[in-house]
Amino acid sequence: MTKASIKDIARKTNLSTSTVSRALNSQYGVSKQTRIKVMEAAKELGYVPNLLAKELVHNKSNLVGLLIKDSTMGEARPAFFEMLPYINKTLALYGKNTIISAIDPLSMEDNELETIIKTRNLSGLIIFPGLQYKSILSQIKKSTLPIVIIEEDLMLKHCSCIGTDEYHGTELAVKKLFQLGHKEIGFINGPDNIGICQKRLIGFKNALEKYGLQFKEERVIYSDFSGIGGGESALSLIKADSSISAIFFANDLMAMGGVSTLTEQGFNIPKDISIIGYDGLYMTPYYNPSLATIKINNQELGIKTVEVLIELINGGKGKSLSIKPTFQDGKSIKSLI
């Protein structure tokens, strides 16, 4: 069977071969609608780009790095791994391949990021949450490679930032609990040295103030984003303050750990304690009880992350994007009214 060519795509779409080529190579001068039309035709025809030939002709790498935190460390973030299929699929549409590197930011060498970039001949880099440490940020500032950071604020010419609106997300959680009659709300956050956790704490304080509820420092516990950490923190919080009627967790994994541990200790969820998570993991509707949560649109976040990176690779300037999460109802919360 003969392989599909750019000419085949041009005939199918009634476009010139030069327009098809620019669309396939993510170059300027092609509208989003035209690019989508070309990509869909390429997929239907089974067109496979010769990435090696393109690299040789343009002296340009088609490899994009995905930098994640070492999975042996405590801060598990499954929500962002749910983005991976969308990131990989969208990068493939732009003729890009991916390679994943896991690092420990607390023990990495001064030039480790630059070494990763050079040895893998990367054309761009996507940095996942959990790597917001000074050693990483200083190396990002030194680099000239197009970089997109998920859930962190760092405006540079070669660097864009994308994430969810943490303030809006935490307000949604507090608003829902307030509407259900809850006034004594605890908050189990992630590590306080991570940007999204700092934003969620600010959002939590602001939301309590907005709805006339009192903020108490002792009702905030910093954990490690793990199920075990969430369970231990929930138990400590309830033992220290039995008046708490609801707990908001900074991620679903901790929330599920909280449900499990409190249930083992004889608490009924939501009869005794209402629980809301954050992330909207795919398994939350199937948990027992189904988990109320603040849902991140991982599909939109993954696709936008790639689109922003491609803009940088093509010479665009750094920008900051924020996507609003939504509330996903569940049976882990109850009304006190």
Overall fold of domain 166-296: Rossmann fold (3.40.50)
Cβ count within 10 A of residue 272: 13
Cβ count within 10 A of residue 180: 17
Q: Which CATH number fits domain 63-165+299-325: 3.40.50.2300, 3.10.310.70, 1.10.10.10, 1.20.1440.230?
A: 3.40.50.2300
Q: Where do the CATH 3.40.50.2300 domains begin and end in the chain?
A: 63-165+299-325, 166-296
pTM of structure: 0.77
- Specify the pLDDT at position 240: 94
Mean pLDDT in consecutive groups of 10 residues from the start of the chain, 337 residues: 78 87 70 83 78 48 80 55 88 86 64 71 83 66 86 77 93 97 96 86 97 95 93 96 96 96 96 96 93 95 93 89 95 96
- Specify the pLDDT at position 74: 43
Rounded-to-integer distance, Cα 231 and Cα 288, Å:
15
| Cα-Cα-Cα-Cα dihedral sign, residues 31, 37, 43, 47 | negative
Q: Where do the CATH 1.10.260.40 domains begin and end in the chain?
A: 6-48
- Residue linked to tokens 């392989």: 3
CB 180 within 8 A of CB 334: yes
- Specify the pLDDT at position 105: 59
User: Which phi and psi angles does 162 have, rounded to 5°?
Assistant: -140, 145
Largest CA distance in the chain: 72
Residues 6+ apart with CB under 8 A from 224: 74, 75, 190, 191
- Specify the pLDDT at position 57: 45
CATH number of 6-48: 1.10.260.40
- Specify the pLDDT at position 296: 93
CB 180 within 8 A of CB 248: no
- Specify the pLDDT at position 56: 41
Rounded-to-integer distance, Cα 304 and Cα 11, Å:
30
Structure tokens given for 51 = 């990435």
Cis peptide before 78 (omega within 30 of 0): no
Q: How many CA atoms lie within 13 A of 263 on its CB side?
A: 13
Rounded-to-integer distance, Cα 85 and Cα 302, Å:
8
Cβ count within 10 A of residue 168: 16
Reported as a single tens digit per residue, the pLDDT across 258-310 is 999 999 999 999 999 999 999 999 999 999 999 999 999 999 999 999 999 99
Q: How many CA atoms lie within 13 A of 229 on its CB side?
A: 20
- Specify the pLDDT at position 39: 82
Closest CA to 84 of 308, 302, 325: 302
Determine the angle formed by the axes of helices 17-24 and 32-45, rounding to 10 degrees.
90
